[in-house]
Amino acid sequence: MTATIVIRRLGEPGDLGWVVQAHGEIYAREFGWDATFEALVARIVADYAADHDPSGEAAWVAELDGRRVGCVFCVRADATTAQLRILLVDPVARGHGLGRRLVDECLGFARDAGYRRMTLWTNDPLAAARRIYLSRGFTLVRQEPHDSFGAHLTGQTYELDLSG
């Protein structure tokens, strides 16, 4: 049986809560991160829900057979820079290329919105996401060790020139 995959704009009832819950549960299970990570995601989602500009900011949800299984947000960092935030693909949906498709949606939107650059911040254990970012042309511009989410991590900032 062929899986039905849909990438749609965030906006259905329950989407916002699902993003927060899924991040909290998946990152706790896979990396042992504590509730401070879920709180960070909740702030990102709340800020987006309360005050996003649809002409320059958007978010997407991936569905597999009608079930939410992934997301990504594109928000304004400044007038010329978009920021990719909170990319997630549920383990049950991995292997379908959803992470790449979500990142591509975000990049296409950012280009269409006129941004010249995209940035993102991630952490060193997130190897699958890093492979996607690198495959799309992002380059690592900064690394900083930090203690967050109940773990010792290396934060990584990546950037991509969108003008080319």
Average pLDDT for runs of 10 along the chain of length 164: 90 98 97 97 97 96 96 98 98 93 98 98 95 97 96 97 88
Q: What's the whole-model pTM score?
A: 0.96
Structure tokens at 1: 């049986």
Quote the pLDDT of residue 74: 98
5-115 CATH fold: Aminopeptidase (3.40.630)
Tell me the β-bridge partners of 153.
146
Going by their DSSP bridges, the two strands 5-9 and 58-64 should be labelled as antiparallel
DSSP 4: P
Domain locations along the chain? 5-115
- Kindly give the residue spans of alpha helices, DSSP state H, lying in 56-117: 98-112
